[in-house]
Structure 1
């Protein structure tokens, strides 16, 4: 029985706003737990459409206990070309790559994996580069400033080397888990001796920029990752959380009169990097 024209029109990509899925469509997935907050599909799927790339990016809820099964299953699917990775999997997912970039080595985690022509998988990390680019576009150059990063997990581990490479005078990292700090020191100590320090509790006395690199703020009942009332006048407060856009931390900092920097900038400035990484060339 033929499909009525009205229903056919409503299902078209031009009307629905959804990417067109064909038998030839290549697949990308963004893995996280939770995953409802991810913004990458809303940014990359329109990019695929603009470039004429027959591909789609979908969110995948990956419970920590099943990450290996999920990643290996996706990698064995012949039409999956790449993976993006968010909390809490950035450190563990490196084990499922055959080779990793220098940024992934330094950060201790990966947020993007691609299938190579020979079928192997290559991992990279663009969180740090995206964060620094977002700061600069917003008019804040990290060169010569003192930074305090709260959280030494997957995101914090990526931000610290990127900020140091961008010329930050000193980066102080705090995390209550000593094993994270020891691992970070082991990765970065030889490259930037004396330019970063680690502690269990934050110290903000001389910070020009303070970054929340923890998941605290994603949920409405989360405590603040730190008290912005302790920060010096003129400090910039940045959050890497993208949903909600206005976290409780950023609201509290703005109420105190401090300049704030939203998490969405870190992702939006990674999109050109993803385009190059995944080789998303336009159809000619």
Structure 2
């Protein structure tokens, strides 16, 4: 991969950085369509986020940057504008830098997540879904699932108040969807989604108990690295269908290309 002064530069801001695979996926995608784009992960501590974003404003060959754990919500205060989708979700995962140095945040997680399910032949409409996590990624998937027409969505989170707040926000936007917060047995659902970071490390505990989940159910884990998390491995052993985070990331590549082309 040759990077020159004509290359469009992009970053992925994260902390920690070891798990980040988005840069490799994005580089491969743009190479495949013949676009001269180079993406690199940047290790940015939460306390340094404002200074880094301010610096990116001044980098005239930078076209944008991805945002992942733990910056998806905090980055908003450092931007000039966010889309209506990002505002509804309350989190940003991609920022476009305009030629004038303005920073415009969007959230592609919801569209990418739903598209990844459809591409893997997983029906969403009228299904019962159990989601674990209510952070930035969890907010995106919850709104995306409601928009896609799920019949019922239950949100589990370590901080139950955060789960209840997300459930209320989704209901306010999509009143026809039955949304609740609290613990539930995974075996009662058609689709189980992990939106937490549990699974990135080999010694992480499972984000939830999926005992009894088998054929006919799908377990989706939005973690990209490792490609097969412990949760997914257990689901496979029980005969369930699984979808990893790379599918969601792949589905966002076309959306990223459109954003930086505008």
Asked if residue 210 in structure 1 is aligned to residue 192 in structure 2, the reply is yes
Name the SS of the counterpart of 1:69 in structure 2: helix
The residue aligned with 2:7 is 25
Distance of 1:145 and 1:276 partners within structure 2: 31
Matches within 5 A, 1:210-249: 210-231=192-213, 234-249=216-231
Task: Determine if the alignment matches structure 1 residue 102 to structure 2 residue 84.
Answer: yes
Q: Deviations over 1:21-43 (max 9, x none)?
A: 22333321001112222222222
Partner residue, 1:76: 58
- CA deviations 1:154-198 (Å, max 9, x no partner) are 111000111111111111111122453354245333221252434
Query: Would the alpha carbon gap of residues 158 and 102 (structure 1) be closer, same or farther in structure 2, given more than 3 Å must change?
Result: same
Partner of 1:121: 103
- Structure 2 residue 173 is the aligned partner of structure 1 residue 191: yes
Q: CA deviation at 1:51?
A: 4.4
The 3-state SS of whatever aligns with 2:192 is strand
Q: Pairwise CA RMSD of aligned residues?
A: 2.0
| Separation of aligned partners in 2, 1:41 and 1:122 | 20
CA distance in 2, matches of 1:132, 1:145: 13
Greater Cα shift, 200-209 or 118-127: 200-209
Residue of 137, 140, 145 corresponding to 1:158: 140
* Structure 2 residue matching 1:104: 3-state secondary structure: helix
Question: Deviation of residue 116 (structure 1)?
Answer: 2.3
| TM-score w.r.t. length of structure 2 | 0.92
Contact 1:27 1:57 (C-alpha < 8 Å) held by counterparts? yes
Partner of 1:146: 128
Is residue 31–residue 85 contact of structure 1 (8 Å, CA) maintained in 2? Answer: yes
CA distance in structure 2 between the partners assigned to 1:34 and 1:181 by the alignment: 24
In structure 1, how many angstroms separate the alpha carbons of the residues matched to 2:241 and 2:68?
Answer: 26
Most deviating of 166-175 and 186-195: 186-195
Q: What secondary structure, in the 3-state scheme, does the structure 1 residue paired with 2:110 have?
A: helix
Q: Give the Cα–Cα distance (whole angstroms) in 1 for the partners of residues 185 and 210 of structure 2.
A: 12
CA distance, structure 2, for counterparts of residue 68 and residue 202 of structure 1: 39
SS in 1 for 2:261: coil
Q: Corresponding residue for 1:15? A: none
* Change in CA separation of 1:121 and 1:187 when aligned onto 2, cut-off 3 Å: farther
TM-score by length of 1: 0.85
Q: Aligned partners of 1:182 and 1:227: how far apart in 2? A: 21
Aligned to 2:48: 66
